[in-house]
Amino acid sequence: MADGRTLRYYDESPGRVPPPDTRDLPVVEHGSVMRYDVLTGEWVTIAAHRMNRTFMPPADLCPLCPTRPGGEASEVPSDHYDVVVFDNRFPSFGPGSGPVPTEVDGDPLWPQRPATGTCEVVCFTSDHSAAFSELPVGRVRTVIEAWADRTTELSGREGVEQVFLFENRGVEIGVSLQHPHGQVFGYPYVTPRTAQLLTRSAAHRQRTGRDLFDDVLSSERRAGTRVVIDAEHWTAYVPAAARWPVEAHLVPHRAVPDMAALTDDERAELAVVYRDLLGRVERYFGPESTDPPYIAAWHQAPVHTGRDLTRVHLQLFSLRRAPGKLKYLAGSESGMAAWLNDASPERIAARLREVGP
């Protein structure tokens, strides 16, 4: 790209000759740092440069659309594409931007380090008005192949400890661009949620000798009351302790650490099942509730630790609790991390089964 970033095309047909990026862009710089919160044991990333990132431009100025002849150049210089992945112009994590003091205010109580890592944007289609659930199954498979490829490459980069794939959808979520897209983060540490999961899984294995995900999956399938989709290689279910008013997990039957380790058969079925599950969430509140906000979070095992204690799985959830009403993370959730859910997991599952194709 014109500023030194990398643009990758994932084409379904061979023969593309990518045109050059002729824009006049400054080199991307970021000053992100990570500061250690001694009260929680977690790293907090300070990315002040992102305050001025692009926010909700009109469709004809969308930077994720292909560049149209005679139009303003976008992030993708081609006039069409299938799936593209490129380095984020406003990354929270990126290459080192210079030395950073190892302590805040020179106080050893507050360790500090550069926020090195990666942030990439994945455009699922060149169609600005499309939704992921509307993509052909073949296109969903292309996205899965792109996810697997990015997981493989980023897992091999020095300093990357965990690769996270996700899609934020809907203005209520806080998306800054409405074009159908997701992101890939290469974190320089194991995230708090994954660290907690590894701790729980290790304790379960020590106590029982069994795999925690196997036991959860077997329990959900045996009960059946919260199962939404039961396929050959994947099961979608609402967790017994669901936190969100609409939530579902999609888990492979085999213990597989990340997208890159999935077999061809598992990827082929995932393309069908994942598309189906997204469509159910979109239809959950009926035709009067359009463009439902959701987060599709693909959890993967860390790169260097605990790869036998967890597996790749989807956590899909929506903030919407009723048409026109949101679930706000208020005092209990935000202040104390003590979750309260107004929706019964069994009722959530029944509704998701009801709105199936």
Confidence (pLDDT) at 290: 72
d(CA 47, CA 29): 11
Determine if residue 179 is labeled as part of a ligand binding site. Answer: yes
Q: How does residue 350 score in pLDDT terms, banded at 50, 70 and 90?
A: very high
Determine if residue 123 is labeled as part of a ligand binding site. Answer: no
Strands 42-46 and 33-37: antiparallel
First vs last C-alpha separation in the chain: 41
Confidence (pLDDT) at 28: 81
CA-wise closest residue to 90 among 102, 79, 72, 75: 75
% of the chain exceeding 70 in pLDDT: 99
- The secondary element (H helix, E strand) that includes residue 48 is none
How many residues are listed for the chain in this entry?
Answer: 357
Determine if residue 30 is labeled as part of a ligand binding site. Answer: no
Confidence (pLDDT) at 97: 65
Alpha helices in the chain (DSSP H): 137-155, 192-208, 212-223, 264-283, 336, 345-354
Read off the pLDDT of residues 190-207 as tens digits, 9 standing for 90 and up: 999 999 999 999 999 999
181 annotated active-site: yes
Rounded to 10°, the helix 137-155/264-283 angle is 120
Mean pLDDT of 17-26: 93
In this model, does residue 308 exceed pLDDT 90? yes
In this model, does residue 219 exceed pLDDT 90? yes
Read off the pLDDT of residues 126-148 as tens digits, 9 standing for 90 and up: 999 999 999 999 999 999 999 99
Read off the pLDDT of residues 46-93 as tens digits, 9 standing for 90 and up: 988 787 777 788 888 999 999 988 888 999 999 999 999 999 999 999
Burial class (CB in 10 A: 0-12, 13-18, 19+), 288: exposed
d(CA 4, CA 20): 12
Read off the pLDDT of residues 159-172 as tens digits, 9 standing for 90 and up: 999 999 999 998 88
Domains in the chain, number: 1
CA-wise closest residue to 239 among 255, 256, 251: 251
Mean pLDDT of 206-210: 98
In this model, does residue 289 exceed pLDDT 80? no
CA-wise closest residue to 294 among 281, 285, 284: 281
User: Is there a contact between 325 and 221 (Cβ–Cβ < 8 Å)?
Assistant: no
Structure tokens, 224: 């059946």
* List 30, 181, 253, 313, catalytic entry: 181
Confidence (pLDDT) at 149: 98
Q: How does residue 236 score in pLDDT terms, banded at 50, 70 and 90?
A: very high
Residue 180: CB partners within 8 Å, gap ≥ 6? 123, 124, 125, 127, 128, 130, 131, 132, 169
Return the SS3 of 305: coil
**Which residues pair with residue 160 across a beta bridge?**
none
% of the chain exceeding 90 in pLDDT: 86
User: Residue written as tokens 């014109």?
Assistant: 2
Mean pLDDT of 83-106: 91
Confidence (pLDDT) at 255: 97
Domain of residue 19 covers 1-357
Mean pLDDT of 311-331: 94
**What does the mean pLDDT of the chain come to?**
94
Determine if residue 128 is labeled as part of a ligand binding site. Answer: yes
254: CATH = 3.30.428.10
For 1, 20, 59, 109, the CA distances from 24, given in Å and listed in that order, are 10, 12, 22, 43
